[in-house]
Amino acid sequence: MKTKLHEYDNYKNSGVEWLGEIPEHWEVKKFKHFFSEKKKTTNVALNCGSISFGKVVYKDDEKIPESTKRSYQVLSKGEFLINPLNLNYDLISLRIALSDKDVVVSSGYIILNNNLKLNKEYFKWLLHVFDVVYMKTLGSGVRQTLSFTHIGNCELVFPPLEEQTTIANFLDEKTTKIDQAIAIKQKQIELLKERRQILIHKAVTRGLNDNVKLKDSGVEWIGEIPEHWEIKRFRNTFKLGKGLTITKENLTDEGILCVNYGEIHSKFGFEVNPEIHKLKCVHPDYLINNSSSLINEGDFVFADTSEDLQGSGNFTYLNSKEQVFAGYHTVIARPSD
């Protein structure tokens, strides 16, 4: 059954900047009218959980000491969970979730009791928008730590219950279709990436002449190579160096450009060009004693650490004549003359 939403005849200013205009017959109420903070209860028999990108997920119980688990609070299926800490120091991590499981979570989390009769599926979507658009501006301290006091006086819309149900059904239906389309596209992208990798591997290890005579390279991952090609050790092909011994706190918005291992993993894999890519900087004083950490056009910079095997060996290539430092957790590979 297809769900449709209709345009409303009249709208009004909600009086809340992030909400804008709303249907005339909808109400605006404070967060604390909808929800209160749940009193903490414990149950060590339940599995441990946490919030991850807007979903409640299981945690590895074996890694959590029994003494810690005894301090965890019960989160029941159908209750909203809020992560009060912005641990990623960003404005995109989703920190509100409607739980679909019974677990115990850290006592630092905020669990909500609803005070009014409402459609939780609708509020799942409403609180998602609240999370993304507005909640990121709340909190105190470097980590933007939240308490219920920070959000209690925030205002939310309150449509009639029947409309809440209609909107929730509409969004569930439409987002499911979109997610399915995304999954299909992602599979196609993965297949294209695999094709691309096969093409690159063949070209760099066998060349472009399909008729050339081949020999065993003696290197398992390379396989056969053209008979007239050589095999050399990496250290005989490149001069190796290290990036700056710094931390995030040393990065600035002005100074000498710097590429760091996190950017190699997430943004500038394969190539970096300061003329089109935005880089952080370090103070010019680093030029005095750390000139060996400067990279030249054509140098490769490897991340020397990774959280998983897939990221091992990630690198970037400097395609620019600009003055750039290799930053923390990096290894410079400069082609030998």
Domain boundaries, the chain: 11-178, 194-226, 234-335
pLDDT tens track for 146-201? 899 989 999 999 999 999 999 999 999 999 999 999 999 999 999 999 999 999 99
Q: What is the pLDDT of residue 19?
A: 95
Dihedrals φ, ψ of 61, to 5°? Answer: -60, -35
Other CB atoms within 10 A of residue 256 CB: 20
pTM of the entire structure? 0.68
End-to-end CA distance of the chain: 69
Q: Is 86 exposed, middle or buried (0-12, 13-18, 19+ CB in 10 A)?
A: buried
C-alpha pair distances (Å), 92 with each of 47, 51, 131, 132? 28, 14, 9, 7
Please tell me the predicted confidence (pLDDT) of residue 2: 57
Judge whether 11-178 and 234-335 match in fold. Answer: yes
Name the amino acid, one letter, at 145: T
Say which CATH class 234-335 falls into.
Answer: alpha beta
How far, in Å, are 57, 81, 83, 94, 249 from residue 52 at the CA level? 7, 11, 9, 7, 26
pLDDT of residue 248: 87
Query: What integer pLDDT is reported at residue 143 of this predicted model?
Result: 56
For the 11-178 domain, the top CATH level (class) is: alpha beta
* 147, 11 Cβ separation under 8 angstroms: no
Give the pLDDT score at 85: 81
Cα separation of 164 and 172, whole Å?
Answer: 12
- Please give the Cα distance from 334 to 241 (Å, whole number): 8
> In the block, which residue shows the tokens 């389309």?
181
pLDDT at residue 89 in the model: 46
Pairwise CA distance, residues 314 & 79, whole Å: 41
From residue 40, give the alpha-carbon distance in Å to each of 70, 76, 113: 12, 12, 11
Tokens (6 digits) for 84: 């009060």
Q: Which residues contact 157 (CB under 8 A, 6 or more apart)?
A: 14, 19, 22, 26, 27, 28, 126
Report, as ranges of residue numbers, the positions in the chain whose pLDDT lies below 70: 1-5, 86-93, 139-144
